Amino acid sequence: MENAFYKTAADIVREGYDKLPDELVSSKHLIYSSPATLSFNSPGAKGFGVKRAGLAVPESVMLLVSPGCCGRNTSLFRSSPEYKDRFFFQLLDDTDIVTGRHLMKINDAVKEMLESLDKRPSAIMICITCVDALLGTDMERICRKVTETHSIPCVACYMYALTREKRLSPMAHVRTSVYSLLEKQKRENRDMNILGFFTSLNDNSEIYTLLKDSGIKNIRELARCQTFDEYKELSKANFNLVLNPEARHAALDMQKRLSIPFIEMLRLYQPDKIHNQYRLLKDAIGASFDDTPYYEETKKIISDFKEKHGKLNFAVGEILNGDAIEIALMLVKEGFRVECVFATVGELNYSFLKKLAELSPDTKIYSNLSPTMLNYAKDDVDCYIGSDCLYYFPDKPGIEWCEDTEPFGYRGVNDLFNALDEALSRK
């Protein structure tokens, strides 16, 4: 029995991104299914998968057209008030798969859905899965037919797990789908949208104040739209601010269809990088806000935390609101130790890994997905960040840091350290 596979940050960087060990590349081994990998295998079980994401369009309903197994875990959230009466299922049998006859029944299923609802929905989201990916189903055509027959907008959502590592992953595609019902209208100079997440940013994020200080009047987010009328106002934006690379395709689509340009920022936890990003944002939109007080406040909170708890040794996981390697890098830069990181190394976070390798070469990098993680023996850490780490270190203090509300900016960092302080104080 082999021990859990890991490489140090320095070892990985020495070999280079093109020579990542097989155990750190998910397509080169079986994928271990443990509670720490649930978000990879079944993103909808916790947080947002395609099904839940598709229903981000206010007052919409979803028809899942698939074998029963694909909708099995839907009962986890189907009973919650926000999803009540919003999920319907058209189940495929073996004959459907062989003949494709299920496609002829979608219109009837939509008719039954509409008849069963007290209120007419804003749109029908039709979610299809790997089966239709392999059958080569033209769902766009079927959606057009539904719209013609029932006079209702209809949008396809592709829950194609088979394509999850493609450039346009299912989660990137569904982000495009949920904005696809917007129609071009006159843009307002002082309106903007924040794109990237299916829940809103934390209300306390300084980004709202900074943007308002720059003269922005309306900052809209999909997750804050309660009605379809509010949703339609998203197309008034003068620009989109994209905070998650998975929303880039949606922003490009909105740029093309609605002539709304976009600016990209990343969710970061390194205060100096957040400061730098705000400087770039200021330049891009010609604003004159000052984020220095927030920066200073965050530096003080981190310093106070360090003084109170000392030079802690962390484990950082990847099931959290952020990038595991970037958070590890922040911790090291702020004077903490990071014993181990559970992460998927990709093009984006490799640049953080390179810096981490310089500052903390011995930090171990594990992949949650490696079969050898069955034999993971706990590293010696003081505390953890990440829901996957809770599985590995149930007896250590730590935080899951994957609430539905999205942390962002300096206040995200403050909240992270405050939550850690609370967890450590409870110990």
Partner 1 sequence: MKKFLKYLSPFAPDQSGACGVFYEFGGLIVICDAGGCAGNICGFDEPRWFDKKSAVFSAGLRDMDAIMGRDDKLIEKLSKAYEQLGGNFALIVSTPVPAVIATDMKSLERMGEKKLGIPCIALDCTGTHFYDNGEEKAWLRLFETFAKDVLPKVKGKTGILGATPMETGYRNFSSLKALLEQNGYENTLLFSMGTTLDDVRKASECEKNIVVSLSALKTAKYLEEKFGIPYEICYPFIPEEIKDKITGVKSENTLIIRSQIAANEVRKLINDPDADCFTFFGFEKSLSSSNDKALTGEDDLTELLKAKKYDCIIADSEIEKLTRDAGFEGEFIDYPEFAISGRGFDFTQFI
The label of the residue with tokens 């319907």 reads 88
State the Cα–Cα distance between residues 42 and 50, nearest whole angstrom.
10
Which residue from 108, 230, 296, 358 is in contact with partner 1, where contact means CB under 8 A? 108
Q: Which stretch binds partner 1 (CB under 8 A): 129-137, 243-251, 305-313, 323-331?
A: 129-137
Nearer to partner 1, 215 or 346 (CB): 346
DSSP 406: B
Nearer to partner 1, 83 or 350 (CB): 83
From the list 74, 169, 202, 368, which residue makes contact with partner 1 (rule: CB under 8 A)? 74
Interface pick for partner 1 out of 6, 88, 269, 401 (rule CB under 8 A)? 88
| DSSP assignment of 75-123 | HHHHTSGGGTT-EEEEE--HHHHHH-GGGGGHHHHHHHHHHH-SS--S-
Residue 347: how many other CB atoms lie within 10 Å: 8
Name the packing angle between helices 170-179 and 248-258 (round to 10°): 30
Q: Is 131 in the site for partner 1 (CB under 8 A)?
A: yes
- For CA atoms 212, 216, 222, 226, the dihedral sign is positive
Measured from the CB atom, is 31 or 284 closer to partner 1?
31
Q: Where are the alpha helices (DSSP H) in 310-408?
A: 324-333, 347-359, 387-392
Q: Indicate which single residue of 99, 138, 148, 162 sits in contact with partner 1 (rule: CB under 8 A).
A: 162
Token digits of residue 260: 């709304």
Stretch that binds partner 1, among 11-19, 67-75, 177-185, 193-201 (CB under 8 A): 67-75
Residue 377 lies near partner 1 (rule: CB under 8 A): no
Under the binding rule (CB under 8 A), the answer on residue 31 touching partner 1 is: yes
> Which one of residues 35, 145, 233, 403 is an interface residue with partner 1 (CB under 8 A)?
35
Instruction: Give the burial class of 175: count Cβ atoms within 10 A of its Cβ; 0-12 exposed, 13-18 middle, 19 or more buried.
Output: buried
Applying CB under 8 A, among 24, 48, 56, 90 the residue interacting with partner 1 is: 90
Residue 286 in tokens: 């010609």
DSSP assignment of 216-274 equals --EEEEGGG--SHHHHHGGGG-SEEEE-SGGGHHHHHHHHHHH---EEE------HHHH
Q: Cβ neighbours of residue 356 under 8 Å, at least 6 residues apart?
A: 9, 325, 328, 329, 332, 338, 363
Determine, following the binding rule CB under 8 A, whether residue 75 of this chain makes contact with partner 1: yes
Contacts of 112 by beta carbon, 8 Å cutoff, 6+ apart? 88
Residue number, 132 or 334, with CB nearest to partner 1: 132
Measured between alpha carbons, how far is 192 from 216 in angstroms, rounded to an integer? 7
Q: Which among 83-91, 223-231, 265-273, 287-295 is the span making contact with partner 1, rule CB under 8 A?
A: 83-91
End-to-end CA distance of the chain: 34
67 is a contact residue toward partner 1 (CB under 8 A) = yes
Enumerate residues 273-302 that contact partner 1 by CB under 8 A: none
Question: 17 - beta bridge partners?
Answer: none
Please report how close the Cβ of residue 338 comes to partner 1 at its closest, in angstroms. 26
With respect to partner 1, which residue has the nearer C-beta, 400 or 415?
400
Closer Cβ to partner 1, 46 or 224, answer by number: 46
Nearer to partner 1 by Cβ, of 300 and 378: the residue is 378
- Least separation in angstroms between CB 289 and partner 1: 41
Binding residue for partner 1 (CB under 8 A) from 8, 147, 149, 163?
163
Of 1 and 81, which CB lies nearer to partner 1 in the complex structure?
Answer: 1
Of 6-14, 200-208, 299-307, 366-374, which part binds partner 1 (CB under 8 A)?
366-374
Q: How many CA atoms lie within 13 A of 68 on its CB side?
A: 2
| Shortest distance in whole angstroms from residue 98 CB to partner 1 | 9
Element at 296 (helix H, strand E): helix 292-309
- Which region among 75-83, 118-126, 253-261, 319-327 touches partner 1 (by CB under 8 A)? 75-83
Give whichever of 163 and 199 is closer to partner 1, judged by the CB atom: 163
**191: Cβ–Cβ under 8 A, 6 or more apart, which residues?**
216, 217, 218, 220, 233, 236, 237, 238
Which of 29/337 has CB closer to partner 1? Answer: 29
What are the residues binding partner 1 (CB under 8 A)? 1-2, 26-35, 38, 40-43, 45-46, 66-76, 78, 87-94, 97, 105, 108-109, 112-113, 116, 129-131, 133-135, 159-166, 371-372, 374-375
